[in-house]
């Protein structure tokens, strides 16, 4: 499944630290409802709010194994509290970071699912931005710390 390949990391998009494709695939093989969360990814541009919500639920549940929380911030906080050795490497991304990640996954999936389109839309505004003439992924737009 193209969406699975791209959302778990590919040449054009990052993956999630410490979460390999095979372990995630085993989870979605056992729980078909997880596959349904990403079936509409890449179907349309721009990314719809509903598809974004389902993608975030997939990341939280299938990749980070949290079926109790639907909001990235809540899943992130719960994971942090459960860690014995505190490390930010294995935390779920925050909401802002995950938004841009979902845009990139949707854009890449759209291109792969629609090979008949010869003039693909620009990646700018679909999870990437132009920096000094180079197309760079948007990691986040919000500050990591509050301004106060």
Give tens-digit pLDDT for 108-124. Answer: 999 999 989 889 899 99
Residue 12 counted as domain residue = yes
Residue 78: in which H helix or E strand, if any? Answer: helix 72-82
Residue 148 counted as domain residue = no
Give tens-digit pLDDT for 3-61. Answer: 888 888 787 777 777 677 788 888 888 988 998 999 999 999 999 999 999 999 999 99
Residue 132 counted as domain residue = yes
How many separate domains does the chain show? 1
Residue 135: in which H helix or E strand, if any? Answer: strand 134-137
Residue 147 counted as domain residue = no
Residue 78 counted as domain residue = yes
Residue 142 counted as domain residue = no
Give tens-digit pLDDT for 119-147. Answer: 989 999 999 999 999 999 998 888 766 66
Q: CB within 8 A of 14, min separation 6: which ones?
A: 101, 137
Domain residues for 43? 2-137
Q: CB within 8 A of 5, min separation 6: which ones?
A: 21
Three-state SS at 40: coil
Closest to 111 (Cα-Cα) out of 121, 103, 126: 121
Assessment of whether the complete model's pTM goes beyond 0.95: no
Residue 143 counted as domain residue = no
Instruction: Look at 16-30, 81-95, 98-112 and tell me which has the smallest mean pLDDT.
Output: 16-30
Residue 64 counted as domain residue = yes
């Amino acid at each position: 499944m193209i969406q699975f390949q791209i959302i778990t990391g590919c040449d054009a998009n990052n993956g999630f630290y410490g979460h390999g494709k095979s372990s995630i695939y085993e989870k979605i093989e056992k729980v078909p409802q997880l596959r349904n969360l990403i079936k509409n990814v890449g179907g349309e541009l721009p990314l719809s709010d509903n598809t974004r919500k389902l993608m975030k639920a997939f990341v939280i549940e299938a990749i980070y194994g949290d079926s109790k929380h639907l909001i990235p911030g809540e899943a992130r906080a719960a994971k942090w509290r459960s860690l014995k050795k505190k490390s930010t490497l294995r935390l779920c991304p925050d909401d802002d970071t995950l938004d841009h990640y979902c845009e990139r996954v949707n854009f890449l999936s759209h291109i792969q699912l629609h090979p008949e389109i010869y003039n693909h839309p620009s990646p700018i505004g679909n999870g990437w931005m132009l920096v000094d003439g180079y197309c760079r992924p948007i990691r986040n737009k919000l500050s990591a710390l509050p301004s106060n």
